Structure 1
Amino acid sequence: MELQPQQSGRTLVLSPAGRIDHTHADAFKLALDPHLRDCTKDGVALVIDFSGVNYISSIGLRALMVAIKQVKAQGGRMVLAALQPLVLEVFTISRFDMLFEIFPDRDAALAAVGGAS
């Protein structure tokens, strides 16, 4: 899965697209992993722009849970932005909205983590 990384100051924006389900979750995790290493207290912040994601399953949520645990253990910051209504509903039902900082759009997320828009 291509994440289309874009640097914005000390913030890296990743933009997955399509479905993060049983078929695509491993590719999502593999694409995300290299960026997690740099997401530390003194490294880059990550914004994951979900505007192009129209579905996420439990295995996709698991990949995100593993990622946020790693980022928090490293003292880094990873936030989510622009969740589509169905994806936001999945996050709310699964209570993942309590695990992640979620912003309505990319600009709000960048402002929160100190990245330029």
Structure 2
Amino acid sequence: MHYAILAYHVERTIEQMSPAQDAALMTELRKVDRRMTADGMLGPAARLDFTQSARTLRDGMVIDGPFAETKEQLLGFYLVDCATHDEAVAAARDLGRANPTAVYEIRPVLLYLPGAPLSGSEAAQHA
């Protein structure tokens, strides 16, 4: 079963990180990524750009911004292939240990359409 692990965080906290702090955080998260890849459970993952670059399509109109009524913003996601919900929760716990100030939502994926790596993605660059 595929599960989406959605990464929420207070965006301002991430924006205020120094390049060294951000690099250290990404190093910790990449350790979890490599383990999940080695276990054959990690699918596509993305770190999203900041919400000021977001656009929302609503009722046929494109509006600037995400307009989420939340304290945290969706900043990235992981797609994992886990045998059970508990295994997906364990993967999210690993991510939470690497980035303890983030919030991770675990949600089953009802439809997964795999595709080719994006041209600018790390996977495509190393292919």
With normalisation by structure 2, the TM-score equals: 0.29
* Greater RCO (Cα-Cα under 8 Å, separation 6 or more): 2
With normalisation by structure 1, the TM-score equals: 0.30
Greater helix share, 1 or 2?
A: 1
Greater strand share, 1 or 2?
A: 2
Structure ID, larger Rg: 2
